[in-house]
Amino acid sequence: MTTGVRNARPPQPTLEMVAAEAGVSRATVSRVVNGSPKVRPEVVVSVTAAIERLNYVPNRAARSLASRQTQSVALVVPEDMTKFFGDPYFAAVVQGITQRLDESDYTLNLLVASSDPRHKTMRYLRAGNVDGALVISHHTGDNFVADLESTMPVVFGGRPTNDSGANNYFVDVDNIAGSMSGVQHLVDIGRHRIGTITGPVDMPAGIDRLTGFRQVLESAGLPTDAVEHADFTASGAAAATRRLLERFPDVDAIFVASDLMATGALGVLAEQGRAVPGDIAVVAFDDSPAATSGPIGMTTVSQPSKEMGFAMADLLLRLLADDETVPHRNIMPTRLILRESA
């Protein structure tokens, strides 16, 4: 007697299965299926052979969608709108992005995706409104970013939290080496009780700058416990500075993980009558306009934010043009800028 349960049919071959068989990206298979002239002949041969081995039959609707070009890319920022418009780092990156896109036929869509409407952002992106995406200021919990990578070409500003090295494309600076140069300067000028105001520790930049801080102090035989965490905002850093001074009133230097946060720290030091750099030296990170807009110029680790934005856009355009020589990891240099604060 039979049970009435039919044997399940084997799954139909998919675009992803063909890509794995041929050892290329999903986008490359799609271009071959749609007859793109931008694919190298030897790649076409490899993909065609994989299609024949798997007996893959392209879906006509999928082919129609795949061939459609919007000539638009998205800048996705998983942050609160106030933070995005209040941090000069973002302005510099966007300036670089738009400068590169102005040389192309692509336009930029800005999607500031705070915690609540991220599902709306993904719906918009998956609907085929853009050809690729740039992502900056992403956090560990931003799981939708991984989903985005399976949908379209993506380039990250900053090392992605899920960096596997094989699939991610990103532009960043060496945050560990940069922070080490700033903290080493504090050691070299004779400071012995050095604290730090970190960025968010669910972001690679925040983690790496804290790592650099600790490495220098450990090498110098100095304590590494004077640490307070903040959120890359001036108000968050002001609150963290008050906590730091309450816990460690003997600090004689502070490494602050961004210029914007350092403005908040300097305000608290002024309130408490701590002279800078006499009582407490301060080193920041970014070399943004915030470093020179206050009553005292900040010594800061300079990162080329505008150039990073330009490079991100350039990488994405190359990916959209099926350039298979695009490097995954693109690390730009930092340098220490000396001013009055340290």
Residue 15's pLDDT is: 77
Rounded to an integer, what distance in angstroms lies between the CA atom of residue 300 and that of residue 311? 23
Residue 163's pLDDT is: 61
187 with 255, same domain: the answer is yes
Q: Which of 100-104, 126-130, 232-236 has the lowest mean pLDDT?
A: 126-130
Q: pLDDT per residue over 211-220, tens digit each? A: 999 999 999 9
42 with 135, same domain: the answer is no
Q: Average of pLDDT values for 264-282?
A: 97
- Could you list the residue range(s) of the whole structural domain that residue 48 is in? 15-67
325 with 259, same domain: the answer is no
Q: Is residue 320 situated within a structural domain?
A: yes
61 with 93, same domain: the answer is no
CATH code for the domain of 274:
3.40.50.2300
311 with 294, same domain: the answer is no
Domains in the chain: how many in total? 3
CB atoms inside a 10 Å sphere around CB 163? 16
Q: Which residues contact 132 (CB under 8 A, 6 or more apart)?
A: 73, 74, 152, 153, 154, 155, 316, 319, 320
Q: pLDDT per residue over 151-177, tens digit each? A: 789 999 998 876 655 568 999 999 999
Is the pLDDT at 100 greater than 90? The verdict is: yes
122 with 166, same domain: the answer is yes
Taking the CA atoms of residue 22, residue 28, residue 32 and residue 34 in that order, the dihedral angle to the nearest 10 degrees is: 140
Residue 150's pLDDT is: 73
80 with 128, same domain: the answer is yes
Q: Average of pLDDT values for 8-31?
A: 79
Confidence band of 7 (pLDDT split at 50, 70, 90): very low
Q: Is residue 340 situated within a structural domain?
A: no
Q: Average of pLDDT values for 167-195?
A: 95
Q: Is residue 342 situated within a structural domain?
A: no
Above pLDDT 90, what percent of the chain?
A: 56
Q: pLDDT per residue over 277-308, tens digit each? A: 999 999 999 999 999 998 899 999 999 999 99
Residue 61's pLDDT is: 40
Q: Is residue 7 situated within a structural domain?
A: no
Residue 289's pLDDT is: 93
Q: Is residue 260 situated within a structural domain?
A: yes
269 with 326, same domain: the answer is no
Q: pLDDT per residue over 226-245, tens digit each? A: 999 999 999 999 999 999 99
45 with 144, same domain: the answer is no
Q: Average of pLDDT values for 181-194?
A: 98
179 with 39, same domain: the answer is no
Q: Which residue has the higher pLDDT, 29 or 276?
A: 276
Confidence band of 81 (pLDDT split at 50, 70, 90): confident
Q: Is residue 318 situated within a structural domain?
A: yes
Q: Is residue 289 situated within a structural domain?
A: yes
CATH code for the domain of 55:
1.10.260.40
Instruction: Specify whether the backbone of 4 is left (phi greater than 0), alpha (psi in -120 to 50) or beta.
Output: left
Rounded to an integer, what distance in angstroms lies between the CA atom of residue 319 and that of residue 321? 5
* Average pLDDT across the chain, whole number: 87
202 with 95, same domain: the answer is no
Q: pLDDT per residue over 315-337, tens digit each? A: 999 999 888 889 999 999 999 99
Q: Is residue 10 situated within a structural domain?
A: no
Is the pLDDT at 8 greater than 50? The verdict is: no
β-pairing, 154-157 vs 194-198, is: unpaired
Q: Which of 64-68, 108-112, 113-117, 306-310 has the lowest mean pLDDT?
A: 64-68
Is the pLDDT at 191 greater than 50? The verdict is: yes
Rounded to an integer, what distance in angstroms lies between the CA atom of residue 74 and that of residue 156? 12
Give backbone dihedrals phi and psi of 256, rounded to 5 degrees, phi first: -110, 135
Residue 6's pLDDT is: 42
113 with 260, same domain: the answer is no
CB atoms inside a 10 Å sphere around CB 251? 21
